[in-house]
A and B are shown apart, each in its own frame.
Chain A
C-alpha cells in the first residue's frame, strides 16, 4: 500500500514536471515568433493545459486513474456552469427580459420589445417547478410538469403521425413491376444495371417484403408462431443486416475524430508535424 502510494506520488511529480517543461518550451517557442512575453506565457499555459486534459481522458483507455478523475470532474463542473450561463444570456436576457421589463432590458443592453404579460406564464411555471425544493409546496411542480408534458405530447403525436407514419407508409407504395410493358419486352430487358427494369423491380420487392416482415416482427399481441413466426424471423434478419451495414459504415467516420485530437497533440502542442 505504501509502495503504491509512493509510486503515484512519483508519477504525479513527473507529470507536473513534464507539464512545466512543456509550458516553458511552448512559451519560448511562441515568444520566438514575436509575441509579447505575457501573452506567450498565457497562451502556452492554455495550449499545454488542453494537451494535458486530452491525454488525461485518453488514459482512461488503460484504466480509471486520478488524472481521468480530475479531467472528468473539472469537465462536469465547467460544462454545467457553461450551459447555465449560455441559457441565462441567450434565453433569459435575450428572450424573456425584452418582453417583461424595460429597466432590465436597458440594464442588459437588449432592445425592449414592449410589455407582454404572457411572458409571465413561463416565469411562473418555472418557479412552480423550482417549488420541488420545498417539501410542502412540492406538489405545485406537477402543474408545470403537466403543462410541459401535455403540450409536447400533443405536438409529438401530430409530428410523428405525419412524418414517421403517414409519409413513410405512402413512400412504401411502390409498383411491383417497374415500367411494365408486357411480358415480351420485360424479359428482354434483364440487365443488372442499377436503373434497369429488373433490378428496380427486385429492389421494390425487397423493400416491400422487408417492410412487411419488419412490421410483423413488431407485432406484440400475436404469438410468433407458424406464418407469423416465419415472417418475423425474416424481419429480424433484415433488421440485423441493416444494423451490420450501418455499423460497418460508421467505423471509418469515427476514426477521423481521433485524427483530429492526435493532430492537436502532434501539431499544435508538440510541433512534430506541420
Chain B
C-alpha cells in the first residue's frame, strides 16, 4: 500500500497531463494552471528540508570539531544573518519590508553578487587550461575536435585577419551546417530519451526514485 498508492498517483496525474494537452476546453486549462501554480508553492516549502539539512550538517561539524569546523560556523552565521534581515518585517531595523531591508540588499549586492560573478569568471581560466590539456591530436576524434575549435577561434580573432575570407566562410559553414545536423541528431535522441523515460515513469517501470521499503 505504501508503494502502490504513490505509483497509482503517478499514473493518474501523468496520464491526465498528457490528455490535458489535447483538450483545449476551459475546464482542462483551469486544472492545468492550478497544477503549475502548485509546483512552485511546494518547491518553496521543501526548501525548509534543504535548510534543515544544511544546518544539521554544519552544526554537526561544529559540535564534533571536525576538520574545517570554523568555516561551518561562517556558513551558519551567514545563513542566520540573512534570514534575520530577510524576514525583518514588522520590527524594521532599517527599512520597512523583508526584501527591501537595507542589510539584505547590501548582503546581496556586496557578498552574493561579487562571489557569484567571480565564480562564473573562473571559467575564463578553466576554458584555457582545458584547451591546453585536452586539445591534442591524440586520435582521429580528438583531432577533429581540435581542428573545428581552431577554425572557429581563428575566425573570431581580429588579429588574425590574414587567414582571410575562406576561413570566415568555412567557420560560418561549420556553424550553420554540420553543427545544425549534429545538434538535431542529439535533440531528437534526447527528446526520445525523455519521452521514453517519462513513459516508463508514468507506467511505473522506472520507480527507483520512490525508494523501497
A81-B83, A86-B99, A209-B181 given; A251·B153 CB < 8 A: yes
On whether the beta carbons of A218 and B213 are closer than 8 Å, the reply is no
Q: How far is it, in angstroms, between the C-alpha of A158 and the C-alpha of B123 when the chains are bound?
A: 35
Interface mask (A2-34 → B, CB under 8 Å = 1, otherwise 0): 000000000000000000000000000000000
DSSP majority for the B interface? helix
Q: Does A87 lie at the interface of the complex (its beta carbon under 8 Å from any beta carbon of B)?
A: yes
DSSP majority for the A interface? helix
Which of B10, B18, B120, B175 sits near A249, CB closer than 8 Å?
A: B175
Closest approach, in angstroms, between the C-beta of B6 and any C-beta of chain A? 4
- Most interface-central of A108, A146, A152, A207 (chain B CB within 10 A): A146
Interface mask (A98-130 → B, CB under 8 Å = 1, otherwise 0): 000000000010000000001101110111011
For the complex of A and B, the 8 pairs showing the least CB-CB separation, nearest first, are A210-B181, A214-B185, A154-B17, A85-B86, A164-B191, A77-B78, A126-B45, A244-B148
Q: Does A270 lie at the interface of the complex (its beta carbon under 8 Å from any beta carbon of B)?
A: no
Q: Does A82 lie at the interface of the complex (its beta carbon under 8 Å from any beta carbon of B)?
A: yes
Which residues from chain A contact B7 at a C-beta distance below 8 Å?
146
Closest approach, in angstroms, between the C-beta of A213 and any C-beta of chain B? 8
Which residues from chain B contact A41 at a C-beta distance below 8 Å?
none
Nearest chain B residue, comparing its CB with the CB of A125? B42
Q: Does B179 lie at the interface of the complex (its beta carbon under 8 Å from any beta carbon of A)?
A: yes
On whether the beta carbons of B181 and A206 are closer than 8 Å, the reply is yes
Q: Does A80 lie at the interface of the complex (its beta carbon under 8 Å from any beta carbon of B)?
A: yes
Q: Give the number of chain A interface residues (Cβ < 8 Å).
A: 114
Nearest chain B residue, comparing its CB with the CB of A84? B47
On whether the beta carbons of A154 and B202 are closer than 8 Å, the reply is yes
On whether the beta carbons of B17 and A77 are closer than 8 Å, the reply is no
Additional A-B contact list (13), CB under 8 Å, known A87-B43, A89-B99, A157-B194: A75-B111, A82-B86, A82-B107, A89-B86, A126-B45, A127-B45, A129-B46, A133-B52, A142-B3, A151-B35, A171-B184, A194-B169, A242-B182
Which A residues have a C-beta under 8 Å from some C-beta of B?
A: 46-47, 49-51, 53-54, 57-58, 60-61, 69-89, 91-92, 95-96, 108, 118-119, 121-123, 125-127, 129-130, 132-133, 139, 142-158, 160-161, 163-165, 168-169, 171-172, 194, 203, 206-211, 213-215, 217-218, 235-252, 254-255, 257-258, 260-261, 264
Nearest chain B residue, comparing its CB with the CB of A166? B191
Which residues from chain A contact B188 at a C-beta distance below 8 Å?
164-165, 168-169, 211, 215
On whether the beta carbons of A77 and B185 are closer than 8 Å, the reply is no
On whether the beta carbons of B75 and A74 are closer than 8 Å, the reply is yes
Q: Chain B interface residue count: which class? A: 35 or more
Closest approach, in angstroms, between the C-beta of B32 and any C-beta of chain A? 9
Q: How far is it, in angstroms, between the C-alpha of A260 and the C-alpha of B124 when the chains are bound?
A: 11
Closest approach, in angstroms, between the C-beta of A44 and any C-beta of chain B? 11
What are 24 A-B residue pairs whose CB atoms fall within 8 Å in the complex? A53-B114, A60-B122, A61-B125, A77-B78, A84-B86, A85-B98, A88-B98, A91-B44, A122-B37, A122-B39, A142-B6, A142-B211, A147-B9, A149-B201, A149-B209, A156-B195, A165-B188, A171-B184, A217-B185, A242-B148, A248-B156, A254-B123, A254-B124, A257-B120
The A-contacting residues of B in range 97-121, CB under 8 angstroms, are 98-99, 104, 106-121
On whether the beta carbons of A238 and B202 are closer than 8 Å, the reply is no
On whether the beta carbons of A126 and B41 are closer than 8 Å, the reply is yes
Which residues from chain B contact A85 at a C-beta distance below 8 Å?
82-83, 85-87, 98-99, 104
Which B residues have a C-beta under 8 Å from some C-beta of A?
A: 2-3, 5-7, 9-18, 20-21, 34-35, 37-52, 54, 68, 71-72, 74-83, 85-87, 89, 98-99, 104, 106-125, 127-128, 131, 140-141, 144-153, 156, 169, 171-192, 194-195, 198-199, 201-202, 209-211, 213
